Chains A and B, each alone.
Chain A
C-alpha cells in the first residue's frame, strides 16, 4: 500500500537484499485473503511458495513476523533436494 519511492527509502534504511514490492492498489492482499476491510489495510502474513507455484506454508497474524515457520518450510526444500 506504500508507494514505490517510499519503499525505496525504507529498503535503504533497513538494507534489504531482496525485492521490496508495493501493493498500492491492495490487489495482492485481497487475492491472498489478508486484507482487512474494516481497517483498510492488510494483516501480516508469510507464504512460502515452491518453484511450481504451490503454497507450502502459511503464517498469519503476529507470528508471521517470526520467520521460524518460514525458515522450517524452507528447510523442507533443502531436505527434498538432498533426497
Chain B
C-alpha cells in the first residue's frame, strides 16, 4: 500500500505493555456498581499544527528524530500500543 509513495515513511511506535499488568487480585465488592470506563484520551493536537519533535530509539539502538525527515519525507507515525496482544 505504502509502496505507492517512495517518499513516504512509516514510523511505528510500539507502546505495548503486558495486558496482565492491569489485572488486580482483589475482587470488587459484589454490591458495587461497575465503575464507568473513563473515555480514552483524545489528543490535543490538531490538523495543521506542527507535529511535536521526538527522539526515539529504533530496533538497532539508533536514535530517530522526527526532524531527520523534515524537508525529505512525509511521515506516517503510528502509535501501536499493546503490540504483543491480539487486541
Contact = CB atoms under 8 A, between A and B. Distances in A.
The contact size tier of chain B is: 35 or more
Given A32-B43, A41-B15, A51 B21 contact: no
B66 A51 contact: no
Given A48-B75, A54-B51, A60 B42 contact: yes
A51 B7 CA distance: 9
| Secondary structure call for the B interface | loop
B49 interface: yes
Contacts of B11: 18-19, 21
A40 B57 CA distance: 20
Contact of A74 (B5, B15, B59, B67): B5
B40 A61 contact: yes
Contacts of A33: 41-45
A40 B12 CA distance: 19
Nearest to A21: B56
B59 A11 contact: yes
B24 to A, nearest CB: 13
A58 B58 contact: no
A76 to B, nearest CB: 10
A74 B58 contact: no
Contact of B76 (A11, A28, A43, A74): A74
11 contacts: A1-B15, A4-B58, A18-B9, A20-B12, A21-B12, A22-B58, A23-B79, A41-B17, A48-B76, A49-B77, A53-B67
